[in-house]
């Protein structure tokens, strides 16, 4: 019975049916399936498959977002239980669009997919200063700082974030991922970031890798 519900949950999540995901999550809770099992083996398992299919270009951004919306419909029911049962996320990521840049759609999508993978996301929004990034990472005890930029002229702010953490002698407390249209692997290496993520799925994979390696 447990496996049936979780399999169904994974399947309807892939189709992006938010109502069905909501109903099945409630049913799973009513059936006393463990909160973490519903999250990991139902919702996140479904999102993992969706992410893989997106990576293989079998589905496209709107499909991914229909599934993300469905994921959140299920997560709404689980959130109070996760808090009550003090179930920790596998990791925490502070994300933001760097100072001087206004483009936040990519950053938003990365945040959605990271939550879809079970991570706790602290979204600082856009036009985020180096101090705000570093302070938030310290305050929330984050594992990863994720920075986004679309303008070539705002890319240097990413280096300022890493330099500031270095200056405060806390650089190694965090991993640093960067993303945005004008960026490259080379740029990430030059500024001392740990990874350049070219899309939402690669961002999730990077964060998973970093958290696993801790």
Partner 1 sequence: MKPQLHEIDVDQTLATTASLLAGQSIPDSVTPDDRIYQLIKDARKLYSDLAEPKSLTIEIERDQFAELFIGERNNHPDALLTELIPLADSFTLFASTAGQKVCTEIERLFASNEFPLASMLDATASEGADLVAEITQEMIRKQLKNNDQLDAGQELLRFSPGYCGWHISGQHKLFDTLQPSLIGIELSESYLMSPLKSVSGVILKAPIEAFDIYDNFPYCADCRNRSCRDRYHTLVAKMENNK
Residues that bind partner 1 (CB under 8 A): 16, 57, 60-63, 65-66, 68-69, 72-73, 99-102, 105, 108-109, 112, 126-127, 151-155, 181-184, 187
Helical ranges in the chain per DSSP H: 2-15, 18-30, 35-37, 45-55, 61-84, 105-116, 130-139, 156-167, 185-191, 200-212
* Residue 190: CB minimum distance to partner 1, A: 11
CA dist 48 and 46 (Å) reads 5
CA dist 187 and 36 (Å) reads 38
115 versus 143: smaller Cβ distance to partner 1: 115
41 versus 104: smaller Cβ distance to partner 1: 104
* Residue 64: CB minimum distance to partner 1, A: 9
* Residue 152: CB minimum distance to partner 1, A: 4
* Residue 105: CB minimum distance to partner 1, A: 5
31 versus 184: smaller Cβ distance to partner 1: 184
> φ and ψ at 120, to 5 degrees?
-85, 130
**Residue bearing tokens 């499909």:** 63
């Amino acid at each position: 019975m447990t496996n049936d519900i979780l399999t169904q949950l994974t399947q309807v999540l892939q189709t992006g049916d938010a109502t069905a995901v909501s109903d099945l999550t409630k049913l799973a809770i009513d059936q006393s399936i463990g909160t973490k099992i519903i999250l990991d083996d139902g919702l996140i398992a479904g999102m993992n498959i969706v992410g893989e299919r997106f990576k293989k270009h079998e589905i496209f951004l709107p499909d991914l977002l229909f599934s993300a919306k469905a994921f959140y419909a299920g997560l709404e029911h689980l959130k109070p239980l996760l808090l009550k049962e003090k179930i920790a996320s596998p990791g925490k990521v502070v994300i933001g669009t760097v100072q001087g840049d206004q483009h936040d759609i990519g950053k938003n999508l990365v945040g959605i997919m990271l939550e879809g993978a079970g991570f706790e996301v602290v979204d600082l929004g856009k036009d985020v200063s180096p101090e705000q990034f570093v302070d938030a990472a310290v305050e929330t005890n984050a594992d990863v700082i994720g920075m986004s930029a679309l303008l070539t002229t705002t890319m240097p702010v990413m280096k300022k974030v890493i330099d500031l953490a270095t200056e405060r002698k806390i650089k190694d407390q965090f991993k640093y991922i960067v993303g945005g249209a004008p960026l490259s692997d080379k740029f990430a290496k030059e500024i001392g970031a740990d990874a350049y993520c070219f899309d939402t799925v690669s961002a999730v994979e990077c964060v998973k890798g970093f958290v696993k390696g801790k």
